[in-house]
Amino acid sequence: MIAVPAESDDLAERFVAGDGDALRLVYERHGPLVHSFCRRTVGADAAADVTQEVFVAAWRARDRFDPHRGALGAWLMGIAKNKVFDVLRRRRVHVVDTDPVVATDGPIEAAPDPVDGIGDRMVLAGALEHLAPRARQMLHLAFVEDLTHEQIAARTSVPLGTVKSDIRRALSRLRAQMEGGDDRVR
Amino acid sequence: MTEFADLSPDDLAVAELYRSLTPEDFELVAPPPGLWAAIEAETQTQTQAQVEATENAAHVAARQAPPTSQTPRSEPTSRAQSAVRAMSRRGVVRFTAVAAVAALALVGFVAARRLGADPERQLALVELTTAGLETPEPTASGTAELVEEGGHQVLHLHLDRVTARSGEYLELWLIDTEVSGMVSLGTARDGAEYPLPAGLSISEYPIIDVSSEPYDGDPAHSSRSLVRGVVSI
């Protein structure tokens, strides 16, 4: 769907190739995102452990990440969501008498939605940092202040056609950063 | 939103998500300082296990070769070189020059350690049985050997007649005695080795469990255990 690597440098390629140094750089770049997401979903106490699991799982499954199909941050967030679901499920596992058989008290329907939403919004928030200030301003005017394109053009002294193309381009760049590729890694 | 009538549904979804952003979504909290060291330690364990697996394969190949004059002292080096060559051929790992030298040193170290006095230390040997389990294959069995190798704990799994249900796969778990927590070690396979996550205490998760899992995307245990054993250390 996306033809160009979403990362602006070759870090994702080096990571997939098994470059241990790249893992450290990936951790430095995306560790705060993953850790913050974990804090919000499983709590501060468990966040570090889950963050560790995410990066170890990502390293072991690195050959399943395709830099041409997704952004590394979104892919890591996909793994983080799966790990968080694991933790939330485990917390709901109940003991059935003394028989060590695992059971949950029915399908967990409420948990995934907020977790998914938090993860998606945090990836989006991170992606916004990489937009030009003008593009961010236009998104704000269009979707928060709900101005029309003409009002935005008047407010920013930018031609109407440019406003439209800026917004469109900004959205598609953000969408590229939201795309994670294979989301079955856990 | 006639303004955005020409936007694709995907772009509109991003726009909707953008609208819903809260200040908290922008707040990042850095991981604790020691976390990278833990990740590095655990991923190096994985790398060493891969190197050892390749080294074993190279060793088997070397044993099948016609016997030549005995030069055991040079064996680690030649074995290490063939292991690295084997890896390059298969394209398993893309080596930079530095990484190749490091791997050579590591394989040499592993080979030397194998020939040396203290290869690995057995911590526990656990029989895996169907006792207490509802299973379609009562003759299924296995063993799990916990060994310490170079400061890391590794589980060696052997399975006999343990087969997943049709269309399912086997998964290996460590479960605590209260069955309130569990750790998946991944796909269970006869003859496979599983480095335990650094910092995980086997005494806290002593139940070794192999389950049949459907490909349903649900990361939780299916409740269909096939064999099980308990580590006592």
Averaged pLDDT, B129-137: 81
Q: What pLDDT is stored for residue B221 in this prediction?
A: 87
Interface contact A93, partner B, CB < 8 A: yes
Residue B158 pairs in a beta bridge with B143
Return the SS3 of A155: helix
pLDDT in tens, chain A (186 residues): 333 344 556 889 999 988 888 999 999 999 999 999 999 999 999 999 999 999 999 999 999 998 888 899 999 999 999 999 989 888 876 433 333 344 444 444 444 458 889 999 999 999 998 888 999 999 999 999 999 999 999 999 999 999 999 999 999 999 999 988 766 676
Alpha carbon distance B78, B212 (integer Å): 42
Written as six digits, the tokens of B81 are 């070189």
Q: Please, which residues 176-215 of chain B have a Cβ atom closer than 8 Å to chain A?
A: 177-182, 184, 197, 207
Q: What pLDDT is stored for residue A98 in this prediction?
A: 38
Closest CA relative to residue B107, chosen from B93, B122, B128, B123: B93
Written as six digits, the tokens of A48 are 């570090």
The predicted model scores a pTM of 0.52
Give Cα A58 to chain centroid, integer Å: 14
Q: What pLDDT is stored for residue A136 in this prediction?
A: 92
For chain B, give the mean pLDDT: 72
Alpha carbon distance B156, B192 (integer Å): 6
Task: State the smallest CA–CA distance between residue B67 and chain A in angstroms.
Answer: 36
Looking at beta carbons, which residues of chain A come within 8 Å of B179? 93, 95-96, 100-102
Q: Please, which residues 109-168 of chain A have a Cβ atom closer than 8 Å to chain B?
A: 117-118, 120-122, 124-125, 128, 139, 142-144, 148-149, 168
* Sole residue written with tokens 């953000």: A174
* Sole residue written with tokens 């928030």: A125
Interface contact A29, partner B, CB < 8 A: no
Interhelix angle A72-90/A160-178, nearest 10 degrees: 50
Q: Which of A18, A89, A139 sits opposite B94 (nearest CB)?
A: A18
Q: What pLDDT is stored for residue B57 in this prediction?
A: 52
Looking at beta carbons, which residues of chain A come within 8 Å of B10? 175
Q: What pLDDT is stored for residue B109 in this prediction?
A: 41
Q: Please, which residues 135-164 of chain B have a Cβ atom closer than 8 Å to chain A?
A: none
Alpha carbon distance B49, B193 (integer Å): 8
Contact (CB<8Å) A24/B35: no
A151: left (phi over 0), alpha (psi -120 to 50) or beta: alpha
Q: What pLDDT is stored for residue A93 in this prediction?
A: 65
For residue A77, give the amino acid letter: M
- Scanning every residue of chain A, which has its alpha carbon at the shortest distance from the alpha carbon of B132? A99
**pLDDT above 80: residue B70:** no
Instruction: Output the CA torsion B17→B18→B23→B26 (10° steps).
Output: 90
Alpha carbon distance A156, A176 (integer Å): 26
Contact (CB<8Å) A174/B14: yes
Written as six digits, the tokens of A120 are 């998606």
Q: Which of B17, B44, B47 sits opposite A124 (nearest CB)?
A: B17
**pLDDT above 70: residue B113:** no
Q: What pLDDT is stored for residue A10 in this prediction?
A: 84
Written as six digits, the tokens of B200 are 């995980």
Q: What pLDDT is stored for residue B60 in this prediction?
A: 47
Q: What pLDDT is stored for residue B123 in this prediction?
A: 84
- Scanning every residue of chain A, which has its alpha carbon at the shortest distance from the alpha carbon of B199? A49
For residue B27, give the amino acid letter: E
* Sole residue written with tokens 């930079």: B96
Contact (CB<8Å) A104/B220: yes
pLDDT classification of B169: cutoffs 50, 70, 90:
confident
The string of pLDDT tens digits covering residues B84-95 is: 333 333 333 333
Contact (CB<8Å) B31/A32: yes
pLDDT classification of B193: cutoffs 50, 70, 90:
confident
Task: State the smallest CA–CA distance between residue B207 and chain A in angstroms.
Answer: 9
Residues 6+ apart with CB under 8 A from B9: none
Q: What is the 3-state secondary structure (H, E, C) of B96-110?
A: CHHHHHHHHHHHHHH
Q: What pLDDT is stored for residue A56 in this prediction?
A: 95
Q: What pLDDT is stored for residue B6 in this prediction?
A: 78
Interface contact B18, partner A, CB < 8 A: yes
Mutation for B interface: A56, A79, A178, most B CBs within 10 A: A56
Alpha carbon distance B87, B35 (integer Å): 30
pLDDT classification of B50: cutoffs 50, 70, 90:
low
Contact (CB<8Å) A36/B28: yes
**Runs of H (alpha helix) within B4-145:** 9-19, 35-64, 75-90, 97-115
Residue B155 pairs in a beta bridge with B146, B194
Return the SS3 of B186: strand
In this prediction, what percent of chain B has a pLDDT beyond 90?
A: 19
Of the two residues B209 and B134, the one the predictor is more confident about is B209
Q: Residue B136 has what DSSP assignment?
A: S
Contact (CB<8Å) B18/A104: no
Least confident of A182-186, B8-12, B131-135, B148-152: A182-186
Handedness of CA B86, B90, B93, B97 (dihedral sign): positive
- Scanning every residue of chain B, which has its alpha carbon at the shortest distance from the alpha carbon of A55? B39
Averaged pLDDT, B146-156: 84
The string of pLDDT tens digits covering residues B3-48 is: 777 788 888 999 999 999 999 999 999 999 999 999 999 988 555 5
Backbone angles phi, psi at B176, to 5 degrees: -80, 165
Longest alpha-carbon distance in chain B: 84
- Scanning every residue of chain B, which has its alpha carbon at the shortest distance from the alpha carbon of A127? B26
